[in-house]
Structure 1
Amino acid sequence: MRPFLTASWRYLLMLNYEVAPEVLRPLVPRGTELDTWQGRTYASMVGFRFLETRVRGLPVPFHQNFDEVNLRFYVRHLASDGWRRGVVFVKEIVPRQAIATVARVLYNEPYVALPMRHVVEMDGAESGAAGRVEYAWKAGGRWQHLSATTRGAPVASEPGSEAEFITEHYWGYTAQRDGGCAEYRVEHPRWSVWSVDASQLEVDVEGMYGKQFVPFLHGKPSSAFVADGSAVAVYPGARLSPETHVPPAPDAPRAA
């Protein structure tokens, strides 16, 4: 199958917070269930560069390179080939109104368009020099941002680690207006990650994501790192069958 979208996702800053399951359950699409790492449920603030974007193989003028910031959490779906680990987005911020509109209208993805800016100072970081990334957006009349400084060279995430759990997801799930769920596959090689010396999240949590997230998206995150990123391919979505259900089961083995 031909990808719907190809791009390069680079310098993915991920700030990961433990969130109470009861906050996330109302947002879980039909046919999926919350995924956990060592019994904990997470939501991640993620900022990255979205580069060299092509739709059906064609570049879209003025919409090839931009920033994205999203709040996401983690689910799994039991398919005929076993458990599929995926993400659900609470909100996705981009600077282009056309991108946000198409994603909302055609796919019911929770995109908004806001002014954005970034700082990526990663020259020499592959060899271990300190680096810095920041992704910012303007909402409610003020700039908000997430940022971090890196240390050392990027390394592959350890099998079974929290970093692997956060980065190695290859499916997306989106609740549809009629109560159903769409599933799409995201293809990319395994990413390496930089450790983070310091991170910061400055955000109007209630205004952006709702008051239910206020107790959780603050202070020092449970973990923080920057993934190097790579070329990615996003394949056309398909609806999950209405009969799809998730039977009670112990935690599934984590895919490498």
Structure 2
Amino acid sequence: MAIFLKAKWEQLIMANYAVDPAVLAPYLPAGVNIDLFEGKAYVSLVGFLFKDTKLFNIPIPCFGTFEEINLRFYVSRVENGKLKRGVVFINETIPYPIVAWVANKLYKEHYTVVETKHKMERGNNEQTIKYEWLLNKKWNRIAVRANTEAKQMEKGYLQQFIFEHYYGYTKANDTHIEEYRLQHPSWLVNNVIDYDIDCDFSQMYGNAFANLTHAEPDTVFLAEGSAVAIEWKRHKLAL
């Protein structure tokens, strides 16, 4: 199986909000179902560092390391008796137009381009991680203070549900969706002590998510991340 993209995803902050499934319906590709945890649908505001990016194993000079901010939700489908759990991206934000163009052109994703930055500080027992993005002349942010000790995530809990969706789904056209697989090991996680989120959800993601601007997330997680690979072959599924 050819690998389209290789990279390191590091220090993934995920702020998770329970939402009415009806809010997600306009973004749901046909052929997949909203994946629920204990009867609830979730969206996640995610910030992480994209490092050492390679396309078809070729490094991208000057554009290989950058911040990404995305909003995603969770879906599933059954194929030949096998449950496939995946994500749908409402929007993905990065700082480089050329990288966004390639992703949108080849993968029909939903990348937009804004200025981004990050700050990381690490002590013996604690670390702080902050991602920021410039929207309408105002810096939005997602940040955590967390322990440095990494541990295996607990099975059967929301944390595992959020992190372990290994497929991506996107609408190709009116008659097909596309499925691709993400390869990475189960991530180690860090205990989050405190968090700070300032995101204008309505400006960033539309009025459907406006109520999240002043809402407290149900949970905030931090994962250390790993090397990842995205397979080139995408399965086009007829609706």
- Could you say which TM-score interval applies, normalised by the shorter chain? over 0.9
C-alpha spacing 1:89/1:237, structure 2 compared with 1 (3 Å): farther
Give the Å deviation of 1:96.
Answer: 0.5
Q: Which residue is 1:94 aligned to?
A: 94
Q: Which residue is 2:232 aligned to?
A: 236
Equivalent residue pairs, number: 239
Question: Is the partner of 1:103 in helix, strand or coil?
Answer: helix
Q: Which amino acid aligns with 2:223?
A: A
CA separation in 1, counterparts of 2:56 and 2:230?
A: 10
CA separation in 2, counterparts of 1:16 and 1:181?
A: 26
C-alpha spacing 1:181/1:122, structure 2 compared with 1 (3 Å): farther
- The TM-score normalised by the length of structure 1 is 0.89
* Identity between Structure 1 and Structure 2 (%): 36
Task: In structure 1, list runs of 5 or more residues that go unmatched.
Answer: 244-256
Query: Which structure: greater strand fraction?
Result: 2
Q: Which residue is 1:185 aligned to?
A: 181
Aligned CA RMSD, in angstroms, stands at 1.4
Give the Å deviation of 1:195.
Answer: 1.6
Relative to structure 2, which stretch is displaced further, 54-63 or 115-124?
115-124
Query: What do the CA deviations read for 1:197-226 (whole angstroms, capped 9, x no partner)?
Result: 211221111111111111235332111111
Q: Which amino acid aligns with 1:155?
A: K
CA separation in 2, counterparts of 1:200 and 1:10?
A: 19
Q: Which residue is 1:6 aligned to?
A: 6
Task: In structure 2, list runs of 5 or more residues that go unmatched.
Answer: none
Give the Å deviation of 1:196.
Answer: 1.1
Q: Which residue is 1:105 aligned to?
A: 105
C-alpha spacing 1:121/1:23, structure 2 compared with 1 (3 Å): same
Matched, 1:171 2:161: no
Relative to structure 2, which stretch is displaced further, 73-82 or 214-223?
214-223
C-alpha spacing 1:241/1:225, structure 2 compared with 1 (3 Å): closer
Give the Å deviation of 1:80.
Answer: 2.3
- The TM-score normalised by the length of structure 2 is 0.95
Matched, 1:211 2:177: no
C-alpha spacing 1:156/1:80, structure 2 compared with 1 (3 Å): same
Q: Which residue is 1:15 aligned to?
A: 15
Q: Which residue is 1:162 aligned to?
A: 158
CA separation in 1, counterparts of 2:92 and 2:31?
A: 22
Question: Is the partner of 1:215 in helix, strand or coil?
Answer: helix
CA separation in 1, counterparts of 2:136 and 2:4?
A: 34
Matched, 1:224 2:220: yes
Q: Is the CA contact (8 Å cut-off) linking 2:71 and 2:92 kept in structure 1?
A: yes
C-alpha spacing 1:179/1:45, structure 2 compared with 1 (3 Å): farther
